[in-house]
């Protein structure tokens, strides 16, 4: 289990949070839950309606379309300091792919209500996060051209 200070240091290295102040990181880190995932464990399935957001402390996570079906394909493999599940925070739609641990992993998890609570406490954080999410979308668009 990570201390608040360890979570703050970790968040500083995650692109989505790297521009936040120490006070913003402190507030945010108090809302994160530790989660241990075993190799091969499904974190969420395609079609799930859960809205948690995840950051990888250690291990590898595959984002998989049509998991356990003949047309299965890996969309992305994520590692330490990367995040996933962010779309579910803003959309009330089913998950577009499954997330599966390629190896044992440690995650930090944020519940959607805790994100709202954090933004109410520190509204300027939202703009910093939206800037990074926008940049991430732009990078994906450029990579697919």
Alpha-carbon separation of residue 69 from 6, 46, 73 (angstroms): 39, 12, 9
Which CATH fold would you assign to the domain 4-112+125-137?
Jelly Rolls (2.60.120)
Average pLDDT over residues 87-115: 90
The predicted structure's pLDDT at residue 52: 94
Range list of H helices, the chain = 4-12, 22-29, 86-90, 112-121, 124-144
User: For 66-83, how does the pLDDT look when each residue is reduced to its tens digit (9 = 90+)?
Assistant: 999 999 999 999 999 999
Tokens representing 47?
A: 């079609």
- The conformation of residue 114, written as its DSSP 8-state character, comes to H
Which residues are CB-neighbours of 91 under 8 A, at least 6 positions away? none
What pTM value is reported for the model? Answer: 0.87
User: For 8-52, how does the pLDDT look when each residue is reduced to its tens digit (9 = 90+)?
Assistant: 999 999 988 888 889 889 988 999 999 999 999 999 999 999 889
Extents of the domains making up the chain: 4-112+125-137
> If you average pLDDT over every residue of the chain, what do you get?
89
């Amino acid at each position: 289990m990570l201390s608040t200070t360890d979570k703050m240091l970790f968040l500083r290295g995650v692109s989505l949070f790297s521009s936040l102040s120490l006070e913003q990181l402190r507030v945010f880190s108090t809302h994160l839950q530790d989660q241990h995932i075993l190799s091969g464990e499904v974190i969420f399935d395609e079609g799930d309606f859960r809205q948690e957001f995840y950051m990888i402390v250690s291990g590898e996570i595959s984002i998989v379309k049509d998991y356990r079906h003949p047309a299965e394909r890996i969309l992305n493999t994520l590692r330490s300091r990367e995040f996933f599940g962010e779309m579910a925070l803003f959309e009330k739609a089913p998950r577009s792919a499954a997330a599966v641990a390629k190896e044992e992993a440690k995650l930090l998890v944020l519940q959607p209500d805790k994100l709202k609570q954090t933004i109410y406490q520190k509204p300027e954080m939202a703009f910093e996060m939206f800037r990074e999410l926008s940049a991430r979308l732009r990078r994906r668009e450029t990579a697919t051209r």
